Amino acid sequence: MPLPSLSLASFRLSALFCASLFLGAGCGSGSGAGNPSSAVAAAPAASQAADDAPPTEQTGGFDGRKALAHVARLTALGTRQAGTPGIVKAQEYILAELKSYGCAVETDDFHADTPAGSLAMKNIVAKIPGERRDIVLLATHYDTKRLENFVGADDGGSSTGVMLELARLLCAKPGKDTVWIAFFDGEEAVNWQWADPDNRYGSRQMAARMAAAGDLKRIKALLLADIVGSKDLRIRRESFSTKSLTNLVWDTARRLGYSKIFVGDQSPIEDDHASFLSRGVPCVDVIDLEIPYWHTTQDTLDKLSARSLAIVGHVFRESIRELERKSR
Ligand SMILES: [Zn+2]
């Protein structure tokens, strides 16, 4: 890792502080676009890191190379902070990709009152109808921390790449449950510190809208991904998450042979799932906050691995199947 060990140590202390006191320096995540197909094919600099991607026959069809290529395209846009031109380009890219897969897509444009004033934000949701009205809600945030020259390859990029690749698979082949894939704007705190209500703008907006529409009870599970692309990926159980749902995902990972990635120890992390947990929705947050480059300009594409993205994508795909089996 590129940072000196002193920085690594202080980062870990900071992460621990965030996690245990539920505040701190951007605990958020922390606590924690053109012709889409050709754009992905021409994605810059993704080929080297894609070398370790497992064959798609081993990952339920999930293509880690494609997921990484999305991250390459997103980071090439530069910073993607809520309410800035950079994020508008990311929105165009996500929308164009989802439409190219044949997904039905809805957007919610709203304004959020932030310490930087009223900011225009946009949630994007791909809606894949199943045989049942029950919704499995997959989610990520796609905005990046308000930090100069920060491109958020892992924090904001990696999980967005995973969700786009899942959308390609799922929109082509709907299952029993209805699946929605939400791309949240405004997860990151506008201030450096993560302190409510300055964070989770997009997920709070979607949870409130679903509550008003009477749709919250349709959500049988929210599976959130955030910071899932590191070459040294190690995902602990997030202890605010719903235990039975966390068990389902970790059991699935173990069955697939990923116990060294989805490990047994746990830590509490504030993230977008809090917006739904507080309303009684079963949630699990899949996040690796122990990255030494978290909320630094070192969060760049070279830190990521197509294999890590593929493993997380595979676990999400199989967890959806497990949830379907449980409802029979
Ligand atoms: Zn973050």
Distance, CA 208 to ligand 1 centroid (Å)? Answer: 22
Put the strands of the sheet holding 135-141 in their side by side order: 104-114, 117-128, 178-184, 135-141, 219-226, 283-287
- What is the Å distance from ligand 1's center to 161 Cα? 16
Tokens of 119: 């900011």
- Mean of pLDDT over the chain: 88
Q: What is the pLDDT of residues 226-248, one digit of tens each?
A: 999 999 999 999 999 999 999 99
Amino acid in the structure at residue 247: N
Q: Cα of 218 to ligand 1 centre, how many Å?
A: 29
The percentage of the chain sitting over the pLDDT mark of 90, rounded to a whole number, equals 82
Q: What is the pTM of this model?
A: 0.87
DSSP lists the bridge partners of residue 285 as: 224
Dist. CA 48–CA 45, nearest whole Å: 7
Q: What b/e readout covers 141-161, taking b as 16+ CB neighbours within 10 angstroms?
A: bbbbbbbeebbbbbbbbbbbb
Distance (Å) from CA 227 to ligand 1 centroid: 8
| Residue burial 244-281, b: 16+ Cβ < 10 Å; e: rest | ebbebbbebbeebebeebbeeeebbbbbbbbbbbebeb
What's the 204 CA to ligand 1 centre distance in angstroms? 16
Give the rounded percent of residues in the chain with a pLDDT score beyond 70: 84
User: What residues does the ion ligand 1 have nearby, CB within 5 Å?
Assistant: 28-29, 145, 155
* Residue 220 CA to ligand 1 centre (angstroms): 26
- Looking at residue 217, the DSSP 8-state letter turns out to be G
Where do runs of H (alpha helix) occur along 198-256? 201-213, 243-255
Query: In sequence order, which residues have a C-beta less than 8 Å from that of residue 138 and are 6 or more positions away?
Result: 163, 166, 179, 180, 181, 182, 222, 223, 224, 225, 316, 320
Confidence band, pLDDT 50/70/90 cuts, at residue 142: very high
How many Å apart are CA 219 and CA 192, to the nearest integer?
32
Instruction: Please give the distance, rounded to the nearest whole angstrom, from the Cα atom of residue 190 to the centre of ligand 1.
Output: 11
Q: How far apart are CA 148 and CA 268, in angstroms?
A: 28
Q: What is the pLDDT of residues 113-139, one digit of tens each?
A: 999 999 999 999 999 999 999 999 999
C-alpha 326 – ligand 1 centre gap (Å): 33
Instruction: Identify whether the C-beta of residue 316 lies closer than 8 Å to the C-beta of residue 294.
Output: no
152 band by pLDDT with thresholds 50, 70 and 90: very high
Q: Compute the distance from residue 147 Cα to the ligand 1 centre, in Å.
A: 10
Provide the pLDDT confidence category of residue 48 given band limits of 50, 70 and 90: low
**CATH for 5-326 (3.10.20.600, 3.90.180.10, 3.40.630.10, 3.40.50.2000):** 3.40.630.10
Mean pLDDT of all residues in 41-58: 69
Q: How far is the CA of 258 from the centre of ligand 1 (A)?
A: 25
Decide if pLDDT at 225 tops 90: yes
Q: What is the DSSP letter of 323?
A: H
8 Å CB contact between 44 and 38: no
Mean pLDDT on 73-86: 97
pLDDT tens figures, 15-30: 333 333 333 333 344 4
